[in-house]
Structure 1
């Protein structure tokens, strides 16, 4: 992880994210990480729609992520936010069948540039997200990663990363919501210093 620095997503860092996403054709079929935000009116959205809407959310302060930089280049991110900002998750039916208390924060997706995978970028992004959550007040943080132990899974399909990554960052499994998908949770305390991530 040498040389990797985490920064927060905002209007000043948006162009760096946009360059990374555009170099990967919008990521996951042009999603621009909009799938977890509230459903929008109208029919199916194009990649251009998603880009426009994501940028609007960022500039309005309604989209959160910890970005990972290697020098001047953004090479990955971890998206997080309050539950009302990210209400949509995979395996919702199984999720809602369980305990009804919602977390304060959700971590919904990761992305790492194809040339920078297996360098610890996802770990740095998760660490950055937890630091930012602490700065923003802390609380119960939840995510929905996959257990890949004993299975070979392409990293490009692990949009919510792995259970083992979260466990290394202090999360615990709370319940299963899919064959290999778990709810993991961790309490994050508010940062006493209120220090955020490194500014660009």
Structure 2
């Protein structure tokens, strides 16, 4: 048996757009052509099809308004964890309930995690989230929220393809604390990240 792959973390940006673009295209635009723009501010392009979503995401990346930790296997992106400020990522599921139960806004949100289907079930999700936390630390740190699936009391197994932001247990392993429920199957988890 050989050594496990030596993955690296790279920030999403104009220099890594091609690798991100290739990964999303390998998966038909992700979730029906979303291109991971659902959490960004609403605009005329959003929801107008995969190519419009792709163009909008590229503009956000070029403007420095889209952030993600890319897990790289050599030159190939194999996963990402999207993060950003509440201004950059205002659209979250169960927003009405979230707003009614919050006491303050976080400095950052982790909203979406995706792993190439060839690399699932190998701990890559955790690497992507840790990569996002490291990049947040480099940007000055702060309070980070995420909204994973809370499968604590669920007896029926859920397909990993539907776990767009990981699970409560995963975030607990990464030092997050459970804050409150959000919707039927999600929750709010928080962690304070020190500056690097």
Using structure 1 for the length normalisation, give the TM-score. Answer: 0.92
* Structure 1 residue 131, shift from structure 2 partner: 0.4
RCO higher in 1 or 2 (8 Å CA, sep ≥ 6)? Answer: 1
User: Which residue of structure 2 aligns with residue 175 of structure 1?
Assistant: 180
User: Which residue of structure 1 aligns with residue 49 of structure 2?
Assistant: 46
Gaps of 5+ in 1: 192-200
* Structure 1 residue 101, shift from structure 2 partner: 0.8
Gaps of 5+ in 2: none
**Residues of 1 paired with 2:49 and 2:127: CA distance?**
31
Q: 1:2 to 1:54 in 2, by over 3 A?
A: same
Show structure 1 runs of 4+ deviating over 4 A: none
**Residues of 2 paired with 1:46 and 1:21: CA distance?**
14
Q: 2:169 aligns with which of 158, 164, 167?
A: 164
Within-5 A mapping of 1:1-200: 2-41=5-44, 44-149=47-152, 150-191=155-196
* Structure 1 residue 94, shift from structure 2 partner: 1.3
Q: 1:32 to 1:163 in 2, by over 3 A?
A: same
Q: Could you tell which deviates more after superposition, 174-183 or 76-85?
A: 174-183
Aligned Cα root-mean-square deviation (Å): 1.3
How many equivalent pairs are there? 191
